[in-house]
């Protein structure tokens, strides 16, 4: 969990690290579409609940980006 605002919602992040050359059949069965065929050895996934894309959702995402950068003094 990473705070980006005074009273922020929580963000859940999952890092998958493949240590073998390929995912096993059992591992592939558990991976979501778009990831099971990836050749990347590290995959970062951010969980978001289902929400329609609209102007409010866009403004919220932009706000998180701005406030996080300000809080961490990033350019």
Could you report the per-residue pLDDT of 22-43, keeping only the tens digit for each? 888 888 888 877 888 888 888 8
Cα–Cα distance, 75 to 73 (Å, whole number): 7
Average pLDDT, the chain: 79
| Res 12 pLDDT > 80 | no
Cα–Cα distance, 28 to 37 (Å, whole number): 8
pTM of the complete model = 0.41
| Res 55 pLDDT > 80 | yes
| Res 3 pLDDT > 70 | no
Name the band, by pLDDT with cuts 50, 70 and 90, for residue 1. Answer: low
Cα–Cα distance, 26 to 29 (Å, whole number): 5
């Amino acid at each position: 969990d990473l705070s980006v605002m005074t009273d922020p919602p929580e963000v859940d992040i999952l890092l998958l690290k493949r240590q073998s050359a390929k995912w096993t059949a059992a591992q592939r069965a558990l991976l979501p579409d778009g990831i099971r065929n990836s050749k990347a050895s590290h995959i970062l996934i951010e969980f978001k609940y289902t929400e329609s894309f609209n102007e409010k959702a866009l403004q919220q995402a932009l706000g998180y980006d701005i406030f996080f950068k300000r809080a961490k003094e990033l350019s």
